Amino acid sequence: MTTAIVAPGRGALHVFAYHLIGYRRTWWGTAFSSFLLPLIYLAGIGLGVGGYVDRGHHLGVDYLSFLAPGVLAATGLSIAIDESMYRVYSQFAWDRTYEGMLNTPLRIVDIVLGQLAFVVFRALVAVTVFLLVMTAFGTVHSGWAVGVLPTAMLLALACAAPTFAFTATQHTDSSFAVLTRFVVIPVQLFSGVFFPVAQLPAGVRILAWLSPLWHGVEVCRSLTLGTARPWPVLGHLGYLAVWSAVGLVLAHRAFRRRLVV
């Protein structure tokens, strides 16, 4: 009965605060994956290989400017998925934090939404830093570039919510390595981050269109290059919103099944 008294949203806010407080102690450990790794990609591929790409002028824009928004979106995705695997799993299986939370007035929906908010927050911080670095590299060509921040947040939600659902159904942690290698890495390599998906064979291109990352990359790239037009952008964002909504429903159901029934 107590649950009914809690105003909607308040509980989720408490869960969000719980994760934030934990993060205050551990943020340094995430500095590598959130900040350094994307920079290494930018320098290694963008500057190194980019020199050769620019000789051909195939892209109509210098390669670093092409690559950077792609890596930004890919960072949003990889943070979202990283945060949704072991961290979520450990709270089911090892630390049993969720059980503790359920003994308070928190509801399943608060637990899911609060932690998803934290994941989105983490992506936002990383992407903000990355955008500043991009500006320093001279790869931001339009004021619309600030739009990549909400875009990356939506992308993170679209990737994190279904991963939450997946994690909630796992009873060992070995499937996460498989998920990383067979899903996350291929998605990052073939979603138009490093080269336009038009280069891909037709069959593979369809897979790229299905991946939320491709839609995120397209929006981010058009925003930083200043080529964004309302129609494709809204279409891409709508696609990400569908992933988020379906993911939320699935995550909520999977959490309920694991924790209550």
Q: Which residues bind other proteins (CB under 8 A)?
A: 29, 32, 36-37, 40-41, 43-45, 48-49, 51-53, 55-56, 58-59, 63, 174, 177-178, 181-182, 185-186, 189-190, 194-195, 199-200
Q: Which one, 86 or 144, has the nearer CB to other proteins?
A: 86
Torsion of CA 109, 112, 118, 119, to 10 degrees: -140
- Smallest gap from Cβ 208 to other proteins, in A, equals 10
- Smallest gap from Cβ 38 to other proteins, in A, equals 11
Cα 69 to Cα 173: distance, rounded to the nearest angstrom = 32
- Smallest gap from Cβ 168 to other proteins, in A, equals 21
CB count within 10 Å of CB 9 equals: 11
Contacts of 210 (CB under 8 A, 6+ apart): none
Q: Which one, 37 or 124, has the nearer CB to other proteins?
A: 37
Q: Which one, 37 or 149, has the nearer CB to other proteins?
A: 37
The closest of 192, 222, 228 to 207, measured between CA atoms, is 192
Helical ranges in the chain per DSSP H: 2-5, 10-26, 31, 37-41, 50-56, 63-84, 86-93, 97-102, 108-136, 148-168, 175-179, 185-189, 202-210, 212-225, 230-259
Q: Which one, 144 or 195, has the nearer CB to other proteins?
A: 195
Q: Which one, 6 or 200, has the nearer CB to other proteins?
A: 200
User: Residues in the chain, how many?
Assistant: 261
Cα 237 to Cα 255: distance, rounded to the nearest angstrom = 26
Q: Which one, 2 or 172, has the nearer CB to other proteins?
A: 172
- Smallest gap from Cβ 32 to other proteins, in A, equals 5
- Smallest gap from Cβ 82 to other proteins, in A, equals 12
- Smallest gap from Cβ 40 to other proteins, in A, equals 5
